[in-house]
Amino acid sequence: MNWTIFLVIFGFLCVLILVFWLFGERGARTLPSTKTFFHLGGRSRLLNFKSLHGYIYMRWQKFYLSFFINQVEKVSTKGLRRWWSSIYHAKVLTEDQAKKVITIDEDIPFQKIEKVVPYPVAHDLVLKAPLKITVYECGCRLARQNHCEPTQVCLWIGEPFADFMAEHHPKESRSLTHQEALTILKEEHERGHVHTAWFKDAMLDRFYVICNCCPCCCGGIEMMVKYGVPMLASSGYVASIAPDECSACGVCVDICPFQALMVTDFAELNWEKCMGCGVCVDHCPNEAITLVRDERKGVPLDVDALLSDAAV
């Protein structure tokens, strides 16, 4: 696919969507969450192309992700893939970290978290307790011909994102209690899937969703493993293996989403590839693997630490 042709087609589609959104007689723009989203964007909707991008992403997310996974990702250059990772990326969470995000009981206004999410664009993480949570279909899974189940596993966190997905996709989403969200996290962890907190510059420069990523469907993990593009930042932890307790069964090799493990006489870790997700820890039949803090892997997205910093 010629890249110039793609840009022309994509630009044309964006113009059509913009015209529909601006002049549609009864468009989705009239929904309260749409107004809130553009209001928080801080500029006129006629000129706010970043928020328009975010609106398109949320309103037609399944088409958006399918298009990029099945078309753009395959024809992208190395430079374009790395640019994409600078505006659309995630922080890996351990299961405990993800649970704490879901169950916060006080507001967390925390700005400029470059140390937590080390990308070129500075982000804000603003969580208002109690969090509203809406679960929606995973666009990455639905983009694949043979995808993992279940598909309704993406947790849209806080406002205006939770309301937007609920209002615009009432048949494919549902509001969750905190306990229901924790159940999804637990079940996905047991399936060997990775909890990731996603950030996107078009989404108010904020954290907006916890995805539960499987390596066979997730576009972000595919970009990391297949193309070496830094779409995901480490949890801040790394797996540590006790050779004397390892039976070299290979379970951890099969379950690792990032292909960071191999077995010789015992399991061995590729430190560079390990993202500290903790999947191998809870699936090791001999309990030979633990997660340990590693400062070289960055700062964890730790709710307790964020609350402490915000109080200073």
For 175-202, give the secondary structure using H, E and C. EECHHHHHHHHHHHHHCCCEEEEEEECC
The strand pairing partners of 17, in sequence order, are none
Asked if residue 223 lies in contact with residue 229, where contact means CB atoms within 8 angstroms, the answer is yes
Sort strands 88-93 and 194-200 into parallel, antiparallel or unpaired: antiparallel
Asked whether the predicted pLDDT for residue 97 surpasses 50, the reply is: yes
Which region among 99-108, 137-146, 149-158, 207-216 has the lowest average model confidence (pLDDT)? 99-108
User: pLDDT value at position 119?
Assistant: 73
Reported as a single tens digit per residue, the pLDDT across 298-308 is 889 888 887 77
Q: What is the pTM of this model?
A: 0.87
Which domains, from first to last, does the chain contain?
Answer: 3-233 (no CATH), 237-293 (3.30.70.20)
Reported as a single tens digit per residue, the pLDDT across 262-297 is 998 899 999 999 999 999 999 999 999 999 999 999
Asked if residue 253 lies in contact with residue 293, where contact means CB atoms within 8 angstroms, the answer is no
Residues 6+ apart with CB under 8 A from 186: 95
Q: What's the rounded Cα separation, in Å, for the pair 289 and 292?
A: 10
Which region among 8-22, 121-135, 236-250, 266-280 has the lowest average model confidence (pLDDT)? 8-22
